[in-house]
Amino acid sequence: MKRLFLAGLLLVYGGSALADPAAVKSTHYQIGYESGDINTVGGSDSRVNAVDGSITLPLAGYLGASVSAFYDHYSMAANFASLGSGLTLASSLPQCTVIDKGLSAGLFVRDPSVGRISAGYGAGQAMSHCESTFLASGTARLDMKDYSAGAQYYFSRFTIGVSWNQTRFNAFDRFNSDSLTGSWYPTNILRVDLATYGQDLKNTYSLGVEFQPRFFDNSSGLWASYTRRHQTVTNNIIMVGIRYYFGRRVDLLTRDREYR
């Protein structure tokens, strides 16, 4: 029902906009590297290093498409000292290496003066390289399928976005998340994001900035984010990254609303 609703929304909006083709001005490429620390309060830190890339291309009129890929390398903490009160932990803190990689593709319609509606599908795989088992598969490998839909509304220097995402792990339970994101562009080269999440990511909030400095000649962007997830266990996630953009040199606001 939900997917039908989203598909209808896309078609109606895309059809009405066919007269003014401006979803993606030209094909946009970007690659990025990011690194971060995932802290479990009272426990140990996990580390992640990742590379990703995406292509955004115009299809017709307001209709655009995107293809992206990622490769993440995690050193996952597996220790939680506060539960070991009075206990002696092993001399070395155990870590678990997990490789996460995936591909995704999506369609969207966009009017740069109004907003964007998108739907996407992705497939990924996580592989544990320690004594770790994914519950969904019962093995060290987890195959994932990801369905997503989202909408953004452009309002002056503000963007309000909502998204829905469902990840299916083999035959296991689905992982659902909703988000509401507010973005502000104090200048054309700086964006500040505030996001809150629901469902399985409930009580999760994030603050992010992306900066496209002049001295990079609009070819690269730096970004950072802080996410706090407060459930039974509180996680603090700090990520920093750099992105390189191929092709047109445009400011960040323009890139977000007209190219990617």
Task: Evaluate whether 102 touches 48 at the Cβ level (below 8 Å).
Answer: no
Q: Which residue is listed with tokens 């990025």?
A: 32
* Residue 132 or 254 with smaller CB distance to other proteins: 132
- Nearest distance from C-beta of residue 147 to other proteins, angstroms: 9
Of 241, 240, 242, 260, residue with least CA distance to 251: 260
At 110, the amino acid letter reads R
- Nearest distance from C-beta of residue 232 to other proteins, angstroms: 4
Segment holding 14, helix H or strand E: helix 2-16
- Nearest distance from C-beta of residue 37 to other proteins, angstroms: 11
* Residue 145 or 248 with smaller CB distance to other proteins: 145
- Nearest distance from C-beta of residue 249 to other proteins, angstroms: 29
Task: Evaluate whether 55 touches 67 at the Cβ level (below 8 Å).
Answer: yes
- Nearest distance from C-beta of residue 105 to other proteins, angstroms: 13
Q: Which residues contact 29 (CB under 8 A, 6 or more apart)?
A: 53, 54, 55, 245, 246, 247
* Residue 114 or 242 with smaller CB distance to other proteins: 114
* Residue 80 or 244 with smaller CB distance to other proteins: 80
Q: Is 64 helix (H, G, I), strand (E, B) or coil?
A: strand
* Residue 126 or 189 with smaller CB distance to other proteins: 126
Distance CA 175, CA 201 (A): 9
Task: Evaluate whether 182 touches 197 at the Cβ level (below 8 Å).
Answer: no
Distance CA 97, CA 74 (A): 5
* Residue 43 or 64 with smaller CB distance to other proteins: 43
Task: Evaluate whether 172 touches 135 at the Cβ level (below 8 Å).
Answer: yes
- Nearest distance from C-beta of residue 125 to other proteins, angstroms: 11
Task: Evaluate whether 81 touches 44 at the Cβ level (below 8 Å).
Answer: yes
